[in-house]
């Protein structure tokens, strides 16, 4: 009984298979007629399979054999609407060439105030950190015999002047020979010289500064004995202040005196200055050239020896300032931007030469170019597009235009 049932089931399967083979159609994926069916002969004949799979794509379907770029290009044909993109016009402008430098501030002058004569310090007229002007007295030495020498020279000068006046009167009356006047005038000049020297030596007891600045160590103490060359005090000239750094030899050719520079210290102070010195001899170790930037410091807020950075403007070069978002890559991985010219997409390779808060500075573009700012990733070079240029439009107009595009 079991054998009869088994033979019956096998026979039914054979009959069903014969009927399916007789129909000549294979339905793939469970789709109905016209959607995925294949001739069964294609499974047994290579010629039939090739003929069937040469390019059998249903009307309106996307050919899976095409690349994304080919699909986009195919969709841009006359039968399909043009892709919409947004562009903005960018013109070439002068990009400032800025060279960053790292260095430190330095006082323009550090002057040691020394006496021109010897003596004991009787008074110190300044303290450390005090601001002084040119001509201020720093310290005073004992007068000693200087005052007496001045008084004696002054009396001798007065006597010589009286003798010269008397001799002149006698010569005018004919009571003295003319050659006596030469002797009297010589004596007067000698007395004047002696007085000037005595007065100068007396004034040297008051040690003054020839420069303005801030008093620093070392400062003499009362009772100490000073001689010429020994410091009474040190005055640091803070206005103007200097920024000192080294320029690499590769950029020294563009360095010039008077170039504008912006200096910022680690303490947050910012000040503008100009290049005041460029060394003619490179540093042997670094092959760089020392430079100095002079910056105003009337209030004395910028101190000497503070780490700082400077940005020196060394001229300009023509370039385009673009937002970083418009940069893209082509199929070869080249960095550039996509633009629109006469309704057709173009790709321009660019080179980034500087980065700033406002955007990136690039070269490689025409003087004026309509850069695609929205939709650049969905178009390819040579494709016709519907471009809307938003250059100069206020945000409200742009928003309205975008809204209309969405509704359409």
Q: Which of 33-37, 60-64, 157-161 shows the lowest mean pLDDT across its residues?
A: 33-37
Asked whether residue 335 falls in the same domain as residue 299, the answer is: no
Residue 38, pLDDT above cutoff 80? no
Asked whether residue 260 falls in the same domain as residue 284, the answer is: yes
Residue 135, pLDDT above cutoff 50? yes
Cβ atoms within 10 Å of 250's Cβ, excluding its own: 9
Q: Domain for residue 40, yes or no?
A: yes
Asked whether residue 192 falls in the same domain as residue 172, the answer is: yes
Asked whether residue 344 falls in the same domain as residue 390, the answer is: yes
Residue 187, pLDDT above cutoff 90? no
pLDDT for res 68: 56
Residue 107, pLDDT above cutoff 80? yes
Q: H or E element: which one contains 137?
A: strand 137-141
Q: Which of 280, 298, 316 is the last residue of a domain?
A: 316
Asked whether residue 310 falls in the same domain as residue 328, the answer is: no
Task: List, in sequence order, every beta strand (DSSP E) within 65-124.
Answer: 83-91, 93-113, 119-124
Residue 32, pLDDT above cutoff 60? no
Residue pair 161/174 in contact by the 8 Å Cβ criterion: no
Q: Which of 255, 288, 316 is the last residue of a domain?
A: 316
Q: Which of 178, 211, 244 is the last residue of a domain?
A: 211
Asked whether residue 303 falls in the same domain as residue 325, the answer is: no
Instruction: Give per-residue pLDDT as tens, 317-346.
Output: 899 999 999 999 998 989 999 999 999 999
Asked whether residue 16 falls in the same domain as residue 26, the answer is: yes
Spatial neighbors of 248 by CB under 8 A, at least 6 apart, are 287, 288
Q: Which residue has the tokens 């195919």?
A: 74
Average of per-residue pLDDT across 290-316: 88
Q: Domain for residue 77, yes or no?
A: no
Model-wide pTM > 0.75:
no
Q: Which residue has the tokens 């892709």?
A: 83
Q: Domain for residue 26, yes or no?
A: yes
pLDDT for res 89: 93
Instruction: Give per-residue pLDDT as tens, 276-299.
Output: 999 999 988 888 999 999 999 888
Residue 302 CA to residue 376 CA, distance in Å, equals 50
**Residue range of the domain that includes 50:** 2-56
Residue 203 CA to residue 122 CA, distance in Å, equals 14
Q: Domain for residue 216, yes or no?
A: no
Residue pair 26/39 in contact by the 8 Å Cβ criterion: yes
Residue 28 CA to residue 323 CA, distance in Å, equals 51
Domains of the chain: total: 4
Residue 30, pLDDT above cutoff 70? no
Report the CATH number at residue 326: 2.40.420.20
Residue 397, pLDDT above cutoff 60? no
Asked whether residue 13 falls in the same domain as residue 38, the answer is: yes
Phi and psi torsions of 30, nearest 5°: 75, 10
């Amino acid at each position: 009984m079991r054998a009869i049932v088994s033979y019956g089931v096998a026979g039914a399967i054979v009959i069903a298979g014969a009927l399916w083979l007789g129909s000549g159609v294979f339905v793939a994926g469970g789709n109905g007629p016209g959607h995925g069916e294949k001739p069964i002969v294609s499974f047994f004949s290579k010629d039939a399979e090739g003929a069937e799979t040469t390019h059998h794509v249903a009307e309106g379907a996307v050919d899976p054999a095409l690349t994304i770029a080919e699909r986009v290009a195919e969709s841009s044909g006359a039968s399909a609407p043009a892709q919409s993109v947004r562009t903005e016009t960018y013109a070439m402008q002068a990009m400032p060439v800025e060279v960053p430098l790292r260095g430190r501030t330095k006082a323009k002058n550090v002057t040691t105030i020394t006496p021109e004569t010897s003596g004991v310090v009787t008074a110190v007229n300044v303290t450390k950190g005090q601001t002084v002007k040119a001509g201020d007295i720093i310290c005073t030495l004992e007068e000693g015999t200087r005052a007496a020498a001045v008084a004696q020279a002054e009396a001798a000068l007065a006597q010589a002047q009286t003798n010269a006046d008397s001799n002149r009167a006698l010569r005018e009356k004919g009571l003295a020979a003319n050659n006596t006047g030469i002797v009297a005038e010589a004596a007067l000049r000698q007395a004047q010289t002696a007085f000037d020297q005595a007065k100068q030596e007396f004034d040297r007891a008051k040690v003054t500064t020839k420069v303005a600045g801030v008093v620093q160590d070392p400062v003499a103490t009362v009772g100490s004995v000073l001689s010429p060359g020994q410091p009474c005090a040190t005055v640091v000239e803070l206005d103007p202040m200097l920024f000192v750094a080294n320029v690499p030899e590769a950029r020294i050719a563009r360095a010039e005196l008077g170039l504008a520079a912006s200096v910022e210290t680690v303490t947050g102070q910012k000040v503008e200055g100009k290049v005041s010195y460029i060394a003619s001899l490179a540093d042997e170790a670094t092959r760089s050239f020392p430079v100095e930037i002079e910056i105003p410091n009337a209030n004395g807020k910028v101190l000497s020896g503070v780490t700082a950075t400077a940005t020196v403007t060394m001229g300009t070069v023509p370039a385009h300032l673009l937002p970083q978002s418009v940069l893209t890559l082509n199929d070869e991985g080249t960095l550039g931007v996509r633009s629109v010219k006469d309704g057709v997409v173009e790709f321009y390779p660019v080179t980034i030469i500087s980065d700033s808060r406002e955007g990136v500075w690039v070269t490689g573009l025409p003087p004026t170019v309509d850069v695609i700012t929205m939709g650049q990733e969905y178009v390819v070079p040579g494709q016709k597009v519907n471009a809307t240029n938003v250059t100069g439009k206020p945000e409200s107009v742009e928003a309205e235009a975008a809204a209309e595009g969405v509704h359409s």
